Structure 1
Amino acid sequence: MSGRRLRGALSRLVAHPAFFLALVATLLVGCRWLSGGTVQILTFVLIAVIFAQSINLLTGLAGQISLGHAGFFGIGAYCSGILAKAHGVDVALSVPAAALLAAVAGWLLSFPAGRVRDVYLAMMTLGFGMIFYEIVREWNDVTGGTMGFPGVPSAALRTLSILGLPVDGVTYFQIVLLVTALVLVLMRNLTQSRIGRALFAIHVSEVAAGSIGIPAGATKQLAYTLSGALAGLAGALYAHLVGYLGPESFALPRSIEVLVISIVGGLGSIAGQVLSATLFTFLPERLQVFAEYQFIAYGIILTFSLVVLPKGIAGLLLEPPRFIKPRALKRTAVFGPDPSVLQREAGGGSLEVEAVTMRFGGLVALDEVSLRVEPGRITALVGPNGSGKSTLVNVVCGLYRPSAGRIAFEGRDVTGLSDHRIALARIVRTFQDPRLVPHFTVRENLLLGAHRLLRHSGVAAALALPSALEEEARQLAAVEAVLALTDLTAVADRTVSTLPYGTRRMAEVGRALLAQPRAILLDEPAAGLSEAEMERLAQVIRDMKAMGLAILLIDHHMDFLAELVDDVVVLDSGRVIYRGDISGMRRDPGVIAAYLGDEAVHAHA
């Protein structure tokens, strides 16, 4: 318990703005009394912090593995170095230009990278890093090739000036410190915004993210772009520290080094990256005798961290970070629970499935299926395992494009739209197993459902502008109302991974409600629930009906369905074999045969 209290105290200290400002101010003033060598090492630490944050954003938040990040680092370094030396561009312009060029490179890489996963993604990013390394080696006229690119304006060599003012090592450290502080503040704001939560959502499940309106492709493109910009910024600052650029500085070992720093620090933790970057910058400097064994040491440290400290240094010393701005939470109290999220317009359009066929090669999973789900009514979709129920839901929600047929919602043809565009059309679904972000609290998971309703820009989110905080606070007020409806208020601030299955199931339903759907598709929501939990779920579904939602309910619990549904559609082998009420379904020979076989039909007769 004492260890937990210590972690809590450290976490509150590190997160407090006064501590951060005091640390930055101390370094700004105190660097004047440090030796030149120490100031230079500290500058390397700051550059490593920025570089590590680029990996933290891409891998820790968005879950995209990168083994070629030295390429972005090198793009920033060479761009700023060449602009400053060969073209006389002031460093105040060359550094932002370098970050912008690296961002463009990241955006371009996101297109092929977005089409592959896991080991193939790692190989693709590795290929990007190797291509950059070979270009630098061979493009002699621009980069100097293997001979390197000397003479870059450098603080260490006292050849650097910014806006006409000479910059020495101490002044350059102060500039880099302010840039690093700004990066950390922006990263913290971004992580605790709709953008950061969206990155975590696609990390955990792109399908679940798409079901609430988060576009996986565009979100990953943003992650690569921002990550490339940060790496390019770090590279540009590095170039004007050392004054010489050679291909070896941007080879594979540089990518491995920054990846190790991020993993050991704790992916997803901003403070962990700072601690790890400091450790891995000072350690090689103090142990020069082991320089040739540096990467063997990195391998041992990484292995130890993955086995003993899977959450890195941050997981050992600090509590897990949270993903809602405290200021937005405080403003929620001003509004109080917002019941308007539970009030829908009466009537509205219906969800129509017309002669939908779905083929997978020679297998016909759906064969001219038609059904209609009316607003303010609950339609049950039942059938034996393998009858095509989940396939139909996947077709309606944009995961599969139907081989034939049409899907319309509120009079609009939505056939073949992507999953996030279906969610934007206000058709939302749940899954057979709850697909939540495990390390998010219940409140944070529910707020994910409101992603499409948050309209403020990424700049407003990164700067934590009042407009962004106000909008987020209003959605948090809606979260409070849904928490009350789903009876989750008592566990709102507990992480989902610590909660029982039934609570997680209800949290997923609550997240779907926060998306303000007009139609909701519930895929076996009662599976694995106790009787008390099913009663609570049934009441929530009745509340949805009262809101005027069109509800398609898939479940195997006939007793659960009997008291809820208005009509039933039965599938068998991808075909509709019954439409009507539930009492008629129980007497229908075709349904009995589908579930129990032809002998049961004769016995029933």
Structure 2
Amino acid sequence: MKAWTALRAVPSWAYPALLGVLLLALPFLGAGYGLTRQVELTLIMALIVSGLNLSLGYAGQLAIGQVAMYAAGAYTAAILSKAGTTDLLVHLVAAGLAALVVGILTGIPGLRLGSWSLAMTSFFLVLLVPDVVTILEEHTGGAHGLSGIPAATLFGYQLAPEDFYFCVVAVAILWFAAFRNIVASRHGIAFQVLKQSPVLASSVGMSIFRTKLAGYAIGAIPAGLAGALFANLDLFVSLDAFTFHVATGALAASILGGSVSVYGALIGAGVVEYGTSQSTSFQEYSLVFFGLFLLIGGVLMSGGLAGAARKLVARLDRAAGVTRGDAAEAPTRLGRIAGGTLEVTGVTKAFGGNQALAGAALRAEPGRVTALIGPNGSGKTTLLNLVCGYYRRDAGTITLDGKEIGTAATHRIARLGVARTFQTPLIPPGITVRDVVASGRYAADPASFGGAILRSRRFRRVQRRDRDRAAEALALVGLTHLADTEAVTLPLGMRRLLEVARALVAEPKVLLLDEVASGLDEAEVETLAALIRRIRDAGCTVILVEHNFGLVLSLADEIVVLARGSVLASGTPAEIEADPRVRDEYLGVNDEDDAVPAGKEEGV
């Protein structure tokens, strides 16, 4: 286990860097043309698969259009070369841009329509490639292909086959470094949050459409780069390289290698390309093999080969007592929060024939806890969803600091300072406790994709703030020691506290807590109550939806009681506790039933 501990002490990026150096050194180690060509084809396939991993594995967008972007990149490079522009760098830039344009133009309608529309759009996009090539036959060569492509050059120097091999490896290294930087940044976490739940993504200020489009469009770029490299590899481009069969192979490689993985794309592409080149039986029955890869990677081995490797590493870490990262204690201070006044007036909402809310109203002010209680089905969560923008009210107004927010998009309401927790905690799998909390700051401190890839000074500054604020929030809820633990493995009580930390990290004006004490034991409820008091005392506006009446009475400054979608009563805890209508409707206690009948005391 000492050897394993020593291996784990090496930075994780060192291993892929070592692989890159080894690939660059292959020609100097006596590798022949057959091996170097196999590496080139594998890396080209890996570029396509990596784009699929980004859009499907991380961002959760089911689409197989990478082959169309691959074709766009290949024909763009080939046409430029035939026109006299043979510089490989120009080809790569032009092919990447062409693939990006195809991704944006096809992604917009597919994502706007929602549901399975993007999957269907990308499916038909692959089928349209032959028609588009035939229509542009004068430039593309049509069904006969485009031959006679001049050899690539780089800054005026004509590239020999060995030189071109180095270029392929270098492009792959640079892209996978960029891919890794995206995935390991706040944008990668945002993609995983979106994949888990669009509702959760919008609640932390993410634009669902823009985030989905970013994942899909950026995933198109490596396919375009692969196309440019492919066109310059054999100096011939034909439709045979862009069939639905190739799209199926890329999908199989993604699932087998591990779609939620950066380097799983290399593993899956290596298996598919090696099988294709080494076995005629594999080529003849490739669809059967692809189906087996999908079954093995997607069902029998959840997470693919990369997922299996992560589980093995985790097991060895536990056996060797290896801990990841650090969990340094952060100060448990809670700075001043500038709360806002939230006012709901005469709000109604119906779902078909069911009147969920009928003239509901409340006013929540900074530095106060406003509790919203009522029996199941009284409209409490519906009211919170209207405040957050998940539903649109039928009538009435919702304002924050006097500004109407009832018609704003959910992510814009979140950016205005409304944060919330959920009845069932929404925690994305595969990310740490620290990253779950940091995701709450995604919209609070924007940083570009370019900055994430290049690790710019601004990006590093934002990343430090994310980690610092996350550490402070974790200290507040007592989860600092679990910062590097996978969040979904936490018990329910800790996941609820984790949601509070995620909501707090953006310093919201209004904090909506939806049954946050549900499932907590007595000690956890006490911890939660103390935390809510600190949040209130810091100046935040807190709205608490809760069935634990004792907790409500101990925390609330104002209580609003809903019954059948309308406000039954409102007032201080003492007033609400003494109200006979509340006791009857909410607590199920009828004061008349509790009264002692006349004459009983005398035994009559």
TM-score under structure 2 length normalisation: 0.91
Shift of 1:543: 0.7
Aligned: 1:28 with 2:24 = yes
Hey, what does 2:71 align to over in structure 1?
74
> Which residue of the other structure, out of 214, 226, 245, is the alignment partner of 2:218?
226
What SS does the aligned partner of 2:263 have?
helix
Aligned: 1:124 with 2:133 = no
Distance in 1 of aligned mates of 2:50 and 2:336: 43
Shift of 1:61: 0.7
What SS does the aligned partner of 1:318 have?
helix
Hey, what does 2:457 align to over in structure 1?
466
What SS does the aligned partner of 1:563 have?
helix
Hey, what does 1:315 align to over in structure 2?
307
Q: Give the partner amino acid of 2:330.
A: P
* CA 405–535 in structure 1, closer or farther in 2 if over 3 Å, else same: same
Aligned: 1:427 with 2:427 = no
Distance in 1 of aligned mates of 2:425 and 2:6: 33
Shift of 1:331: 11
Q: Give the partner amino acid of 1:203.
A: K
Shift of 1:300: 1.9
Residues 485-524 of structure 1: CA distance to partner in whole angstroms, max 9, x if unpaired?
1011122211122211101110011110101111100000
* CA 189–290 in structure 1, closer or farther in 2 if over 3 Å, else same: closer
> Which residue of the other structure, out of 349, 358, 383, is the alignment partner of 1:392?
383
Moved more, 50-59 or 299-308: 299-308
* CA 72–396 in structure 1, closer or farther in 2 if over 3 Å, else same: same
Moved more, 219-228 or 131-140: 131-140
Q: Give the partner amino acid of 2:526.
A: E
Hey, what does 2:264 align to over in structure 1?
272
Aligned ranges 1:87-126 → 2 under 5 Å: 88=85, 90-116=87-113, 119-126=116-123
What SS does the aligned partner of 2:287 have?
helix
* CA 133–590 in structure 1, closer or farther in 2 if over 3 Å, else same: farther
* Structure 2, gaps ≥5 residues long: 315-323, 596-604
Aligned ranges 1:232-381 → 2 under 5 Å: 232-318=224-310, 337=330, 342-345=334-337, 348-381=339-372
Hey, what does 1:325 align to over in structure 2?
none
Q: Give the partner amino acid of 2:20.
A: V
Residues 557-597 of structure 1: CA distance to partner in whole angstroms, max 9, x if unpaired?
10111111011111112111111122322333433443377
Distance in 2 of aligned mates of 1:478 and 1:54: 32
Hey, what does 1:51 align to over in structure 2?
48
Distance in 1 of aligned mates of 2:171 and 2:466: 32
> Which residue of the other structure, out of 590, 595, 600, is the alignment partner of 1:600?
590
Residues 8 and 318, structure 1, Cα contact 8 Å, conserved in 2: no
* Structure 1, gaps ≥5 residues long: 154-158, 323-328
Distance in 1 of aligned mates of 2:449 and 2:116: 30
Q: Give the partner amino acid of 2:128.
A: I
> Which residue of the other structure, out of 568, 582, 595, is the alignment partner of 2:573?
582
Residues 7 and 318, structure 1, Cα contact 8 Å, conserved in 2: no
> Which residue of the other structure, out of 143, 162, 165, is the alignment partner of 2:157?
165
Residues 432-466 of structure 1: CA distance to partner in whole angstroms, max 9, x if unpaired?
01111122111111111121233332211111223
Distance in 2 of aligned mates of 1:285 and 1:305: 21
What SS does the aligned partner of 1:446 have?
helix
Q: Give the partner amino acid of 1:106.
A: G
Aligned: 1:488 with 2:479 = yes
What SS does the aligned partner of 2:567 have?
strand
> Which residue of the other structure, out of 413, 420, 429, is the alignment partner of 1:438?
429
Q: Give the partner amino acid of 1:300.
A: L
Residues 67 and 123, structure 1, Cα contact 8 Å, conserved in 2: no
Residues 143-178 of structure 1: CA distance to partner in whole angstroms, max 9, x if unpaired?
22222222233xxxxx33233211122111101111
What SS does the aligned partner of 2:267 have?
helix
Aligned: 1:194 with 2:190 = no
* CA 91–500 in structure 1, closer or farther in 2 if over 3 Å, else same: same
* CA 20–291 in structure 1, closer or farther in 2 if over 3 Å, else same: closer
TM-score under structure 1 length normalisation: 0.91
Distance in 1 of aligned mates of 2:7 and 2:257: 16
Q: Give the partner amino acid of 2:353.
A: G
Distance in 2 of aligned mates of 1:409 and 1:390: 18
Moved more, 400-409 or 130-139: 130-139
Hey, what does 2:317 align to over in structure 1?
none
What SS does the aligned partner of 2:356 have?
strand
Residues 222-266 of structure 1: CA distance to partner in whole angstroms, max 9, x if unpaired?
111101112111111111112222223212111111111111011
Q: Give the partner amino acid of 1:101.
A: A
Residues 295-331 of structure 1: CA distance to partner in whole angstroms, max 9, x if unpaired?
2122123212333211111122235999xxxxxx989
Moved more, 82-91 or 383-392: 82-91
Distance in 2 of aligned mates of 1:428 and 1:285: 54
Hey, what does 2:140 align to over in structure 1?
143
Residues 194 and 454, structure 1, Cα contact 8 Å, conserved in 2: no
Residues 337 and 478, structure 1, Cα contact 8 Å, conserved in 2: no
Distance in 2 of aligned mates of 1:239 and 1:321: 39
Residues 454 and 472, structure 1, Cα contact 8 Å, conserved in 2: no
Residues 400 and 416, structure 1, Cα contact 8 Å, conserved in 2: no
Aligned: 1:412 with 2:412 = no
Distance in 2 of aligned mates of 1:578 and 1:601: 17
Shift of 1:85: 1.0
Distance in 2 of aligned mates of 1:321 and 1:573: 53
Distance in 2 of aligned mates of 1:10 and 1:281: 30
Moved more, 89-98 or 261-270: 89-98
Hey, what does 1:457 align to over in structure 2?
448
What SS does the aligned partner of 1:114 have?
helix
Moved more, 482-491 or 85-94: 85-94
Residues 53 and 273, structure 1, Cα contact 8 Å, conserved in 2: yes
Moved more, 548-557 or 450-459: 450-459
Distance in 1 of aligned mates of 2:129 and 2:7: 41
Residues paired across the two proteins, number: 585
Aligned: 1:507 with 2:504 = no
What SS does the aligned partner of 1:494 have?
coil
What SS does the aligned partner of 2:408 have?
coil
Hey, what does 1:212 align to over in structure 2?
204
Residues 340 and 510, structure 2, Cα contact 8 Å, conserved in 1: no
> Which residue of the other structure, out of 541, 549, 554, is the alignment partner of 1:550?
541
Distance in 2 of aligned mates of 1:246 and 1:481: 57
Shift of 1:10: 6.8
Distance in 1 of aligned mates of 2:142 and 2:26: 40
Residues 332 and 475, structure 2, Cα contact 8 Å, conserved in 1: no
Moved more, 585-594 or 270-279: 585-594
Q: Give the partner amino acid of 2:248.
A: I
* CA 267–321 in structure 1, closer or farther in 2 if over 3 Å, else same: farther
Q: Report percent identity of matched pairs.
A: 35
Distance in 1 of aligned mates of 2:210 and 2:170: 31
Residues 174-225 of structure 1: CA distance to partner in whole angstroms, max 9, x if unpaired?
0111111111111111111111111111010111111111221111111111
Residues 198 and 209, structure 1, Cα contact 8 Å, conserved in 2: yes
Distance in 2 of aligned mates of 1:498 and 1:148: 53
Shift of 1:483: 1.3
Q: CA RMSD in A?
A: 2.5
Aligned ranges 1:168-179 → 2 under 5 Å: 168-179=160-171
